A = this chain, B = another copy of it.
Amino acid sequence: MSLTIKLTITPHIINLNLHPKHRTKIPAYSLGVRPKPIYHSNALIPILYNNKQPRMSQASVSGSVIKSSLIEPDGGVVVDVIVPECERGSKTLEAESLPKVRLARIDVEWVHVISEGWASPLKGFMRENEYLQSLHFNSLRMGNETVVNMSLPIVLAIDDETKENIGSAKDVGLVGPDGDLLAILRSTEIYKHNKEERIARTWGTTAPGLPYVEEFITPAGNWLIGGDLEVLKPIKYNDGLDHYRLSPQQLRKEFDRRQADAVFAFQLRNPVHNGHALLMNDTRRRLLEMGYKNPILLLHPLGGFTKADDVPLAVRMEQHSKVLEDGVLDPETTIVAIFPSPMHYAGPTEVQWHAKARINAGANFYIVGRDPAGMGHPTEKRDLYDPDHGKKVLSMAPGLEKLNILPFRVAAYDTVAKKMAFFDPSRSKDFLFISGTKMRTYARTGENPPDGFMCPGGWEVLVKYYERLQAEEATPAAVSA
């Protein structure tokens, strides 16, 4: 019995919904022996996304059949605007006949986010009334006078020429960076893209050097186009990580399958060290104490755009996998999946988005730490945001009342116990704070962090990444010399 359970969940954690006939194909490692992780292969994709079980029909089955006690998604229903397979041909033909908008890479990430319902009840790129509510109130008022959280403008910028091409057409076709037709945007509305105001109200600064701004807003067009999306097929990246990209509906289905009575989400964009693990495990303990029988952890690394000096997604996924393999987190009560959103580094404004999207995926507890979604001020020597504002704003945010916010206690390296532990102010000198920057410096210089900071397997992944990076950085220099 315990052998069977190990087989379905240990190696990849995301190994969901396996039909019994597939399950038997996986070699039966003996109990106690850790199976080789296969997250870098696409082995699971055909099982999860095979032709007999297209994503859409699964979704509609889950919508109509499963009785769930999970938290209600914003607006009551998880949005799914992916065209059913049977209509794909006709919609594609129609899209070809429409004026076209060429998407940047970042726009495709947002199409992905919207298409699966992370931004429910949003059904497409924001029209002006949604944009203004998001910008000024971080929330949208619904027809029934309820309010949902919506802190980041989810918008599509176009330039003057594209606007002119569209003319008075109401529907447009969205074309990916590689030229593929990805979606139709219907009943569009074009309005001004006041970049300065958008930046100031979203980031609370207009200082030069904000990664998302410099990469995607400054070069973008002076107009925004909103409308309802119809996405021609699920967005895939073919980077060996698509099997981690579970939609909110897939996650909800899995939480139900595991009979979760509490789901606690942990958003991250960094490698998992033992301090993170401590607080995730401690959260589970607290939830059990509160009377929950089966709290499930959603370890949910952000998979979209991140700034250049963050650790790349593929490396992080490999590192997370080692953490589970090494037993630092319990695979039976953990789901690892990728959150497809890009990162804004917009602190208190963005952390609301991170929390809100997880409601849509079924999480009713959200762990928040120091300075969530924060970064250093781009031009001054200080944090851009007050490190406590994130959790404060989150606890007061409109539309997030139904979510349980779990602020985390500070963990640091206890030099006496030689492990990560919750900081004890009564013996503060025993504790060593190892920031993300410090951790990356260790890994880059090949220096080992103190024992017990991170599991050895996970650490090795980081060291190897920085070795590769330095080798790559050295190569062009040698050529140019």
List A residues at the B interface (Cβ < 8 Å): 128-129, 132-133, 136-139, 141, 145, 147, 192, 194, 196-197, 200-201, 203-207, 348-349, 385-386, 389, 392-393, 396-398, 401
Contacts and interface: CB of A to CB of B under 8 A. Distances in A.
Given A136-B393, A201-B204, A206-B206, 12 more contacts: A129-B392, A132-B348, A136-B138, A136-B348, A136-B396, A137-B139, A141-B396, A141-B398, A147-B398, A196-B205, A197-B205, A197-B385
Nearest to A388: B128
Nearest to A396: B133
Contacts of A145: 401
B197 A136 contact: no
Contacts of A393: 132, 136
For this chain, the copies found in one complex come to 2
Contacts of A386: 192, 194
Nearest to A128: B392
B397 A137 contact: yes
Contacts of A392: 128-129, 132
16 contacts: A132-B392, A136-B348, A136-B396, A137-B396, A137-B397, A137-B398, A139-B398, A141-B398, A194-B204, A196-B205, A196-B207, A197-B204, A197-B385, A200-B205, A201-B204, A398-B398
A393 B133 CA distance: 7
Nearest to A399: B137
Nearest to A133: B396
Contacts of A147: 398
A471 to B, nearest CB: 41
